[in-house]
Amino acid sequence: MGGFVVGADGIGSVVRNAIGAGFDGITIPELFLTVSTTYDFREAMPDLANISYLSDPHEWYVLIRTKRVWRALFPVDAALDDADVTSPARAERLLQGAVTRKEPFEVTHRTAYRVHERVASTYVKGRVLIAGDAAHVNNPLGGMGLNGGIHDAFNLAEKLVAVLRGAPIETLERYSRQRRKVALDVVQQTTLRNRAILNTREPEARRAYYDDLRRTVDDPEKHRSYVMRTSMIASLREVADLA
């Protein structure tokens, strides 16, 4: 039998509920609809990255390349009927809005889900811990949730090894303090900012944002700082000395 329990059991975490951790935060007002299609969007947009964010003052969507299909993510009005949100007709309309073509898109999967921005009040109680989506959830824009969960795993593994080698059990509380701070100050704030940027309708505000990005790319120091921050490497260093 193991001496510790680590719950990485998602947003509905039984382990998080068992330790009595709160899960305060907000629910994003729109639904996110994900549509998988065999169509290769590079036929229309040859320079697409494997993950691409496309937006204009009227709408936005995300394209993600996987091994067998492309996934397109669209924001959808949460007031719509559930059957309408995931209907084949809506998926076709949205895909045709992304790339207009004569043939209908071959769609292999459609799903809609609500998005939350929440962080558990604690990640540990005695020998029971939580990590990943059980500890923090956020919108998927930027992939910060997955990366944050990986960072949780590395941080927790280090603390567990130390405890197994004789460090006091309270060492695990440090894992909670460090990773909660990153979830609140970096992961959550970054995903909210990404959503706000994509939702921006004002042309001047959009232009100012992209002009600033270009200046960042042109300045080696600013560019390095930006990459360190968005990769969350900077956050590791910021909390390293957090007791």
| DSSP letter string, 176-190 | HHHHHHHIIIIIHHH
Task: Work out the percent of the chain whose per-residue pLDDT is above 90.
Answer: 64
pLDDT at 81: 83
Confidence tier at 237 by pLDDT (50, 70, 90): confident
- Cα–Cα distance, 142 to 139 (Å, whole number): 8
Confidence tier at 57 by pLDDT (50, 70, 90): confident
The CATH homologous superfamily of the domain defined by 28-116: D-Amino Acid Oxidase, subunit A, domain 2 (3.30.9.10)
Beta-carbon count within 10 A of 169 CB: 11
For residue 63, what are its two tokens?
């394209």
Confidence tier at 243 by pLDDT (50, 70, 90): low
In the predicted structure, residue 2 carries a pLDDT above the cut 60: yes
Domain definitions of the chain by residue range = 28-116, 140-239
Task: Work out the percent of the chain whose per-residue pLDDT is above 70.
Answer: 99
Higher-confidence residue: 195 or 16?
16
- Cα–Cα distance, 22 to 25 (Å, whole number): 10
Confidence tier at 19 by pLDDT (50, 70, 90): very high
What is the reported pTM? 0.83
* 136-137 vs 107-119, strand pairing mode: antiparallel
- Cα–Cα distance, 92 to 95 (Å, whole number): 5
In the predicted structure, residue 26 carries a pLDDT above the cut 90: no
Tens digits of per-residue pLDDT, 132-169? 999 999 888 777 888 899 999 999 999 999 999 999 99
- Cα–Cα distance, 85 to 154 (Å, whole number): 38
